Structure 1
Amino acid sequence: MATQTKTVKENWKEAQSDFFESFRNYDEAGSLQRIQVLKYLVLTTMLMKSDINPFDSQETKPYKNDPRIAGMTDLVDAYQRDDIHLYESVLQSNKKDILADPFIAEHIDEVTRNMRTKAILKLIAPYTRFTLGFIANQLKISIPEVQDILGFLIVDKKVRAKINQQDGTVEVESKSDIARLESMREWSLAIEALWATIFNDGDGFKSQEPDQMLQQHEGSTQLGSGSSGKGSGGLGKARAGSKGIAGRIPGAGFK
């Protein structure tokens, strides 16, 4: 079936539209296949994570309480209410009927995975630290599945947390911690920029080329020796008129 191929490619919205049109056509023709197609319509509604109840339309409403699709009706109701325990209960109670259709059986696991993912996000919201076992017990699923779902949420950046596989604990970064780390990062960048400005633009820290320093040093020596007959006056002139090393480095004249 072409519609099934589209669904496999995860074009859920388009597949849902196709199933709805197929249902209308079968219903108008009085075909019994409308029940099967209606089940597919309910399935794709959950796969596309829609909040619109598939039985709200005028065409499908008469079949909402049809016992032939009661399992799928209850399932989508629990899914859209985010009631994981009701969802699991309905799935177990109607497992034989729901999984009897190979197409539904192939994709219902993805619906269940989405349901459990939403349940985990809702459950861990108030906590900054919890154990994998706690989540598993609350949702009645295995610890490996809890870890797998949390790992996906962390990689997808929907949860900021770290999993300690040794003791089975999970540490969630609070919003205040994230804000504090961001402030520290900005402060560090500001300090780096300040030091870069001081060393690159500050007059007191500018470096001189070796040849320039040597020329200034020789000029200072000549001034000092040329005025030796005047005692310390020559040295005084050299200090006053020279901008050599002693004039550049604070405290150098007192060594």
Structure 2
Amino acid sequence: MTVSDYVGFRQPGENEMKAVLDNAESQEEVCDLLHAAPFQNILPRVHVKEGERLDAKMKRLEAKYTALHLVPLIERLGTPQQIAIAREGDLLTKERLCCGLSMFEVILTRVRGYLDDPIWRGPLPSNGVMHVDECVEFHRLWSAMQFVYCIPVGAHEFTVEQCFGDGLNWAGCMIIMLLGQQRRYDILDFSYHLLKVQKHDGKDEIIKSVTLKKMVDRIRKFQIVNDEIFAILNKYLKSGDGENMPVEHVRCFQPPIHQSLASN
């Protein structure tokens, strides 16, 4: 892959990051809407004691905040242009609060439509369960790319995250998640396998000019970033599916039988 390929692959991931930031900003907007509520005639429900009337207390509260209601005030004192702007702003604010618009879910749904192609999944597995040795699914390609990313660089070289940030991770994890290959990726990833083996035997050797300990440290950092991205994606994908989530079908398989026993 050339540098231009990496840049192109990074861009979908950066779009996802922007969408996440947009959702984070929407939480700040909720606080702004709460502060702006009296100016839009959105009043909290008051506590009513026994024997009191709710409508009477609400009328007194509305009368108290009438001078703050912005749209009628501008309609009375403003120019036609100011009136139009005030009405549009009031409508937009109320609609945004009611709908809970999320750019992130829209982008994920659109990208999922783009991935509706057999080239991302490969043919049906010969064993009827899953591809193990074959490299026909996208998560295998991403595993090979990530293995190369995790190789430590020289003293005067730049790491892939210094050149491209986390956009590559976001793009790869997003495609894996939308294709439903996350579990197979976690099990069969080359880098994660190396991390597990090194954690078990604790070796620290230099193999083909690559320090094993440094590479394992980089793999662990990538694993933490990937897990955080998967958690965010999983949250929004589940909330977006709602009640339309398909029923998960579970199949039971017999354990493998040794050839000597099978012949008998």
TM-score normalised by length of structure 2: 0.25
Which structure carries more relative contact order (alpha carbon 8 Å, separation 6+)? 2
TM-score normalised by length of structure 1: 0.25
